[in-house]
Chains A and B, each alone.
Chain A
Amino acid sequence: MAHPRSWLHCAFLLLLALLLAPPPAFADDASTLAKKVFDRPNGRDFTTLGRMVLTEKGRAPRIREIVSYRLDKSGGETANMIRFLDPEDIAGTGLLSIDQADGSTDQWLYLPALDRVRRISGDRKGGRFVGSDLYFEDLQERKPSKDRHRILGKQAENGILCDVLESIPVDSGESVYKKRISWIDPATYIVQRVDYFEQDNRTPSKRWLLRGKKRNQGYWTLTDSRMIDLASGHETRLVIDVALYDQKLPAKLFTSQALADESLESEYRP
């Protein structure tokens, strides 16, 4: 039979643990929400033809046409390939990324002028992708386990009452952002808005907004979105004109040979 003082001592420790630890049910809810967003059905493979529009006030917009491919491989590996179709000065340039299951990324850049595939560092997270407001980090899949999540509450965005999720990197040196706040449609787990905090935790530096989505082959496609630099007002708009899912893209499409030979890749364009 346990001593009454021992019982009291156990109760005290239990309550102390409850007090000091983050509320478990709440943290679980946040992580579950982040995981549901990450795991939202997106097809085994995904092909898009789209445009990136770089806008500044008082200047003509600059438009880049891009074809992109994504293939989920076995073992948690994801392969992505992007090729620029326009304008002429970057047409043919390609980027191949292999996101490994351990979170690391291998990247190769194809430069048509040299006809050469170059390995580049995938750690260039804060570099601007072709001069846009998108950082390389924004283009990489971010596993939910890389952040600590917290639900801040509910708020309307795009006319939808969204769950508002705060995500702070577990390893602060691993991201250019101090934190991200996402507005998530609880019915579809589609993110409607993201505020990115770079300099401090109070003022967002960038904002991503969903502008349009469509249902293709049973999958939701984010057809129109924009990333806004809140300080300068620059905008980068991403428009997907065509989206194809589950085309049985072959693994050989995600090789240096296909990266260097546009002819091999172009057959899989929409």
Chain B
Amino acid sequence: MKNVFLTLTLSCVALPFLASGSAFAASDLPPPRDPSPLAVDDLPPPRHTKPIAADPATPQTSTTDDLPPPSLRSRRTARGFQPVFKAGVDDLLLETGALPDAVEADMYSSLRTSAYVLWQPSRNWEFRAGARLDGMAQDGGRADHSELLADYSDTYVRYRIENTRLTLGAQTIIWGRADEIPLADRVSRIDLTRFSLDDLADRRRAQLAARWEQSFGNYKLDAVWLPVFRGAQLPDVASIWSPVNRTTGQIIGIDPALTPWVSQARIDEDEHGSGGGAIRLTKTGDPFDFGVTLARTRQSLPYYRVDLPTATLTAVHPFNTFAGADIELVTGGLTWRMEAGYTSDVPVTLANTVMDSTQSLDWIGAVEFFPGGRDTRVNLQLVAHALQTDRNILELKEYYGANGEIETTFSQGRWKAAMRFASGFNVRDIYLSPKLSYTGWEPHELYVAAHYFDGEARTLGGFHQDHALITLGLRTRF
């Protein structure tokens, strides 16, 4: 009983202190802020829209009680459709680099620029015209070369109504979910002029296509027909990035011991006919995004058919059928992406140099995350490629590897550091590309980058192992 009264006494002492929350917390109040004057309003007016004066500004000290009732006359509305006319340079790349190991050249420089005009006179119609110019120069070795190439970029007529979008003309269409080599990417035209130095979007070009996009709810149906086939944009055979290296006598993907005659070979191109068609259905929304793709198309990447008697290499693009599925979901801060596909009629070369075909199974699994939820992005992709044949062929029958990118920003986003990488598991095949960019001079990007290749015969890293490159570049748009 005595103990109870002692507790009660203590409680009574404590009660007044608890009763007043303010009194209890007063010592926890942070010190008053230094009332340093805020900077004067020196912002220039916005570029895109003139600021519309809102209702007369109300002083900070006003309360809801002294506010006038909302005025219908002061109500603003969305602008609705407005005709659009835009023109600009949507890409400019100037880059120069050193090739410390190459026998073909010591220096390699690139120029790439594209300009466009876009006109949207009504809600339904849109017209775009674009052109690009690509230049390269390599010198200081056994294969000095320079060239300038003009081409169209996205140039199309587009019609929209409700949930339908129809586009006819030259378009760049990149399907798939993976970053480096998406399996569903069956209707784009590849640009090999700079091999893999650039990101995926810059390794693709526009090609003539008719496209029908139909949305219904969270689903989208995308159908593409390629009426006129155009193969990949290849670098000149003298370029260090050519898939046929006359200086060293190699064809990419083929054991160099079998191709010493390539230096003198004639190279032909077979680009007749249409490119085929493809259809893709995607769904976006809870609980995950997915897509299925069916394609009967010719791949823009060439396959070199060998004709030994005439020492001729012919770049062919046979039709093949692709069926694939892909999925994308987020769990616990990780974004998972996966693609799987079956391809028929994949060209291969038998040991006797006769061209044959087989099927392939491909799989890509990717995970993207931001360690600690901060500013570093890691994208890691595992790839598997298996040709379904028991015959003796010159290509690798299976390839397993990893690729991806780690990038981070610092100094309030003014600097960016990145590392792209690729590596084979069952064969030695390495690509490393560190890059440091200054992006504080918006919208321009100044960068230094390096590209390192190494690998066994028949791998991409092995084919370009003497083409390590250190570059200094400027990229912008305006």
* Interface residue ranges, A against B (CB under 8 Å): 8, 11-12, 15-16, 18-19, 23, 25-26, 29, 47, 49-51, 53-54, 56, 59, 62-63, 65, 85-90, 106, 108, 111, 113-128, 130-133, 150-160, 164, 166, 176, 181, 187-188, 192-193, 195, 204, 207, 209-218, 221, 223, 226, 232, 234, 237, 239, 241-244, 247, 255-257, 261, 263-264, 266-270
Contact A119-B51, Cβ < 8 Å, known A53-B43, A151-B22? no
A185 to chain B, nearest CB (A): 8
Q: Is B57 an interface residue (CB 8 A)?
A: yes
B55, B74, B126, B373: the one within 8 Å of A125 (CB): B373
Q: Is the CB of A23 within 8 A of B21?
A: yes
Main secondary structure of the interface of B (DSSP, over half): loop
Q: Is the CB of A128 within 8 A of B409?
A: yes
Q: Is the CB of B48 within 8 A of A221?
A: no
A55 to chain B, nearest CB (A): 8
Q: Is B165 an interface residue (CB 8 A)?
A: yes
Q: Is the CB of A214 within 8 A of B373?
A: no
Contact A150-B25, Cβ < 8 Å, known A86-B47, A128-B413? yes
Chain B window 108-137, contacts with chain A (Cβ cutoff 8 Å), 1 for yes, 0 for no: 000000000000100100100000000000
Q: Give the residues in chain A near B48, CB-CB below 8 Å.
A: 49, 65, 85-86
A256 to B245, CA, bound (A): 44
- 9 closest Cβ contacts across the A-B interface? A131-B413, A218-B70, A26-B21, A89-B443, A241-B51, A123-B333, A187-B63, A113-B201, A256-B284
Q: Is the CB of B174 within 8 A of A114?
A: yes
Instruction: Other than A119-B288, A128-B413, A187-B65, give 12 A-B pairs with Cβ distance below 8 A.
Output: A106-B286, A125-B373, A133-B412, A150-B25, A156-B32, A157-B33, A192-B60, A215-B55, A217-B55, A244-B77, A267-B81, A270-B79
Q: Is the CB of B4 within 8 A of A131?
A: no
Contact A131-B334, Cβ < 8 Å, known A23-B21, A113-B201, A269-B79? no
A87 to B15, CA, bound (A): 60
Q: Is the CB of A159 within 8 A of B445?
A: no
A12, A89, A211: the one within 8 Å of B8 (CB): A12
Q: Give the residues in chain B near A127, CB-CB below 8 Å.
A: 370, 373-375
A71 to B51, CA, bound (A): 22
Closest-by-CB residue of B relative to A125 is B373
Chain B window 21-44, contacts with chain A (Cβ cutoff 8 Å), 1 for yes, 0 for no: 110111011101100001000011
B130 to chain A, nearest CB (A): 14
Q: How many residues of B sit at the interface, in one of the four size bands?
A: 35 or more
10 of the cross-chain contacts (CB-CB < 8 Å) are A26-B24, A51-B43, A63-B44, A106-B285, A119-B330, A151-B21, A187-B65, A217-B75, A241-B46, A241-B49
Q: Is the CB of B440 within 8 A of A59?
A: yes
A106, A123, A153, A214: the one within 8 Å of B57 (CB): A214
Q: Give the residues in chain A near B25, CB-CB below 8 Å.
A: 150-153, 166
A90, A160, A237, A244: the one within 8 Å of B78 (CB): A244
Q: Is B260 an interface residue (CB 8 A)?
A: no
A207 to B65, CA, bound (A): 29
Q: Is the CB of A261 within 8 A of B165?
A: yes
A12 to B6, CA, bound (A): 11
A217 to B478, CA, bound (A): 37
A120 to chain B, nearest CB (A): 6
Q: Is the CB of B29 within 8 A of A164?
A: yes
Q: Is the CB of A88 within 8 A of B477?
A: yes
Q: Give the residues in chain B near A218, CB-CB below 8 Å.
A: 67, 69-70
Q: Is the CB of A263 within 8 A of B21?
A: no
Contact A176-B60, Cβ < 8 Å, known A128-B413, A257-B220? no
* Interface residue ranges, B against A (CB under 8 Å): 4, 7-8, 11, 14-15, 18-19, 21-22, 24-26, 28-30, 32-33, 38, 43-44, 46-49, 51-52, 54-58, 60-61, 63-65, 67, 69-70, 74-82, 84, 88, 120, 123, 126, 160, 163, 165, 172-174, 177, 199-202, 215, 218, 220, 284-286, 288-289, 328-330, 332-335, 368-370, 372-375, 409, 412-414, 439-440, 442-445, 476-478
A18, A131, A211: the one within 8 Å of B412 (CB): A131
Closest-by-CB residue of B relative to A249 is B78
Closest-by-CB residue of A relative to B172 is A115
Contact A114-B374, Cβ < 8 Å, known A158-B60, A159-B60, A267-B80? no
Q: Is the CB of B7 within 8 A of A15?
A: yes
Q: Is the CB of B200 within 8 A of A247?
A: no
A141 to B127, CA, bound (A): 40
Q: Give the residues in chain B near A151, CB-CB below 8 Å.
A: 21-22, 25
B26, B52, B218: the one within 8 Å of A242 (CB): B52
Q: Give the residues in chain B near A53, CB-CB below 8 Å.
A: 43
Q: Is the CB of B43 within 8 A of A239?
A: yes
A88, A164, A213, A264: the one within 8 Å of B443 (CB): A88
Q: Is the CB of A121 within 8 A of B54?
A: no
A106, A116, A160, A247: the one within 8 Å of B174 (CB): A116
Q: Is the CB of B335 within 8 A of A119?
A: yes
Contact A215-B289, Cβ < 8 Å, known A89-B442, A241-B46? no
A187 to chain B, nearest CB (A): 4
Q: Give the residues in chain A near B165, CB-CB below 8 Å.
A: 261
Q: Give the residues in chain B near A87, CB-CB below 8 Å.
A: 442-443
Q: Give the residues in chain A near B4, CB-CB below 8 Å.
A: 8, 12
Q: Give the residues in chain A near B409, CB-CB below 8 Å.
A: 128, 131
A102 to chain B, nearest CB (A): 11
Closest-by-CB residue of A relative to B284 is A256
A181, A256, A269: the one within 8 Å of B30 (CB): A181
Q: Is the CB of B63 within 8 A of A122?
A: no
B300 to chain A, nearest CB (A): 17
B168 to chain A, nearest CB (A): 17
